[in-house]
Structure 1
Amino acid sequence: MHDLPLIAARCWIGRQAGVRSLAPLGSARSLVAVAFLQKPPAIQKPIRLLHSRYGAGPCGLVRNMLRWEMSMGAEAQRTAARPKRIHERNRPRRTTMAEAGTLHDAFIEELKDTYNAEKQLTKALPKLAKASSNPRLRQAFETHLEETQGHIARLEQVFESLEEKVRGKHCDGIAGIIEEGKSIMAEDFDETTMDACLIAAGQRAEHYEMAAYGTLVAWAQAMGHTEAVTLLQQTLDEEKAADKKLSGLAEGGINQTAADAAHPDDEDDETMAGAGAGRKGAATARTARR
Structure 2
Amino acid sequence: MVKSIVIAASFFQATVAIDYLGGWIEPAHQQCVDICKNSKATPGCFGPADDACHKKLQRPGDYDYLMLDQIYQPQFCRDLLNGVDSTITHQNVNKYPNVKSELMIHGLWPDYINGYPGCCNVTDTIINQPFDASKFSTKYPDLFKEMTDEWVDPSIGNSTEQLCQGYNHEFQKHGICYGAFNSDFDLAAKQYFKAVLDVNTRLKSKAQQIAKWATASATPTTTIADIAALYPKNINILCSTVSGEKPNRLVSVRTCFDKSPPLKDNCNADDTL
Structure with more contact order per residue of length (Cα contacts < 8 Å, sep ≥ 6)? 2
Larger radius of gyration: 1
Give 1 or 2: higher helix fraction: 1
TM-score band by shorter chain is under 0.3
Q: Normalising by structure 2, what TM-score?
A: 0.23
Q: Normalising by structure 1, what TM-score?
A: 0.22
